[in-house]
């Protein structure tokens, strides 16, 4: 049987795996499904309908699920789907989707204190969101992205895989994969070498990406154009460089 503290409130219509732990004064609403090994600390709240994958942890005063902050949200469930191994630290908020859609979160993400995921967002896996990162509605964050504290992302913006969004960066346009962005407004400053190495990307691919990033964003400041750099890189044999170029074409589409 799940271990539920006597002061916790768990709706009888919620589904808890056998080894789930629900701490003092935590709340689990109807329509919530908690997978194996989930832990809700004191005063944690999970609002339905929500599916939370195994080994996920919700810390005090975090709220996972619930109605979105959206004026156009029609009547109906605000769903959220969370993968395995996610950690939601204190005061994190994650809102459900609008118009019958769901907010999606992948696997093994860390949401630090006070970070926020708005309605209809789609978060990949292995991401880190430092304190007070704010994601607006319909944002897409691909795998292996890291945010510094106080970073912000506007509605419908996509953050590419293995990007690093520096502290207090304000992203109002799509962020390409593999790069470091910084500033208000956030602009490419270089290659996310540290993140790529931590991910286990071989040095040969990192070197190819370093050349591509320099050609696309640093060399143009010396007189070359971005279009010329892209044409020069077309047909590159490195798969990471091809992924980078593909993201730029999608951004223009």
Q: What is the pLDDT of residues 164-213, one digit of tens each?
A: 999 999 999 999 999 999 999 999 999 999 999 999 999 999 999 999 99
Quick one: pLDDT at residue 74?
Answer: 63
The Cα angle at residue 212 between residues 210 and 216, in degrees rounded to 5:
120
Catalytic residue among 106, 107, 116, 120: 120
Cα–Cα dist 251/188, whole Å: 15
Instruction: Give per-residue pLDDT as tens, 9-67.
Output: 999 999 999 999 999 999 999 999 999 999 999 999 999 999 999 999 999 999 999 99
3-190 CATH fold: UDP N-Acetylglucosamine Acyltransferase; domain 1 (2.160.10)
The verdict on whether 137 is a catalytic residue reads: yes
pLDDT at position 91 over 90:
yes
The verdict on whether 120 is a catalytic residue reads: yes
Q: What mean pLDDT is reported for the chain?
A: 95
Record the pTM.
0.96
Phi, psi (degrees; rounded to nearest 5) at 163: -80, 155
Is-contact 240 205, C-beta < 8 A? yes
pLDDT at position 236 over 90:
yes
Residues of the chain with CATH 2.160.10.10: 3-190
Q: Count other C-beta atoms under 10 Å from residue 77's C-beta.
A: 15
Is-contact 1 19, C-beta < 8 A? no
The verdict on whether 53 is a catalytic residue reads: no
Q: Which among 164, 168, 206 is positioned nearest to 189, based on CA atoms?
A: 164
Q: Count other C-beta atoms under 10 Å from residue 120's C-beta.
A: 25
Cα–Cα dist 34/84, whole Å: 10
* Strand, coil or helix: 154: coil
Q: H or E segment at 230?
A: helix 226-233
Catalytic residue among 95, 119, 126, 138: 119
Catalytic residue among 23, 85, 97, 137: 137
Is-contact 245 227, C-beta < 8 A? no
pLDDT at position 100 over 90:
no
Is-contact 100 81, C-beta < 8 A? no
Is-contact 105 81, C-beta < 8 A? yes
Cα–Cα dist 198/183, whole Å: 24
Cis peptide upstream of residue 185 (ω within 30 degrees of 0): yes
């Amino acid at each position: 049987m799940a271990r539920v503290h006597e002061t916790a409130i768990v709706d009888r219509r919620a589904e808890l795996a056998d080894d789930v732990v629900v701490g003092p004064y935590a709340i689990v609403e109807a329509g919530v499904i908690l997978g194996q090994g989930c832990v809700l600390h004191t005063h944690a709240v999970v609002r339905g309908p929500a599916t939370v994958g195994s080994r996920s942890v919700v810390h005090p005063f975090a709220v996972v699920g619930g109605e979105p902050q959206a004026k156009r949200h029609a009547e109906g469930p605000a769903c959220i789907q969370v993968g395995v191994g996610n950690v939601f630290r204190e005061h994190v908020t994650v809102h459900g989707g609008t118009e019958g859609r769901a907010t999606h979160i992948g696997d093994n993400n860390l949401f630090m204190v006070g970070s926020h995921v708005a309605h209809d967002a789609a978060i990949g896996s292995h991401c880190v969101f430092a304190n007070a990162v704010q994601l607006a509605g319909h944002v897409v964050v691909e795998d292996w992205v890291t945010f510094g504290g106080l970073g912000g992302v506007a509605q419908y913006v996509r953050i590419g895989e293995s990007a690093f969004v520096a502290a207090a960066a304000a992203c109002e346009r799509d962020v390409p994969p593999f790069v470091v962005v910084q500033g208000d407004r956030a602009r490419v400053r270089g290659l996310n070498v540290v993140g790529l190495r931590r991910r286990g990307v071989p040095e040969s691919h990192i070197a190819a990406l370093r050349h591509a990033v320099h050609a696309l964003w640093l060399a143009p400041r010396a007189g070359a154009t971005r279009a010329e750099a892209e044409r020069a890189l077309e047909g590159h044999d490195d798969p990471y460089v091809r992924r980078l170029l593909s993201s730029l074409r999608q951004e223009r589409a």
